[in-house]
Amino acid sequence: KNQVEQSPQSLIILEGKNCTLQCNYTVSPFSNLRWYKQDTGRGPVSLTIMTFSENTKSNGRYTATLDADTKQSSLHITASQLSDSASYICVASSGGYNKLIFGAGTRLAVHP
């Protein structure tokens, strides 16, 4: 069964601190791994997309890693800001263009 699991479910950090979110996926055939940021009451916004041949990809203060062998990915946020408070969703793409398997998300709260 194709599935994506994320941890932790929620996380509270202080402004300026770093954090790492985890994602494990069981998807076959695997196409690519995506991270999205979803603000409350809004649609998801893409942060990174990685194929199986890519190990790391950065987007500003966001750095995603991918280990296709262990089927694990992480999203590292550096020097967190209050605006980083959101849900972060890990999504694995299977096969062709149409199938996206969503994780439940990690709800991050950045406190001053």
Partner 1 sequence: GAVVSQHPSWVICKSGTSVKIECRSLDFQATTMFWYRQFPKQSLMLMATSNEGSKATYEQGVEKDKFLINHASLTLSTLTVTSAHPEDSSFYICSARDFGQTGRNTEAFFGQGTRLTVV
**72: CB partners within 8 A, 6+ apart:** 22, 23, 24, 25, 66
Query: Considering the complex, what minimum distance in angstroms separates the CB of residue 43 from partner 1?
Result: 4
C-alpha angle 85-100-2 in degrees, rounded to nearest 5:
105
Nearer Cβ to partner 1 (39/67) = 39
Determine contact, residues 32/77, Cβ cutoff 8 Å.
no
Kindly state the smallest distance separating residue 47's Cβ from partner 1, in Å: 12
- List contacts with partner 1 (CB under 8 A): 31-32, 34, 36, 41-46, 49, 89, 93, 97-98, 100, 102-105, 107
Residue 105: CB minimum distance to partner 1, A: 6
For residue 82, the SS3 value is helix
- Taking the least distance from each CB to partner 1, the nearer of 68 and 100 is 100
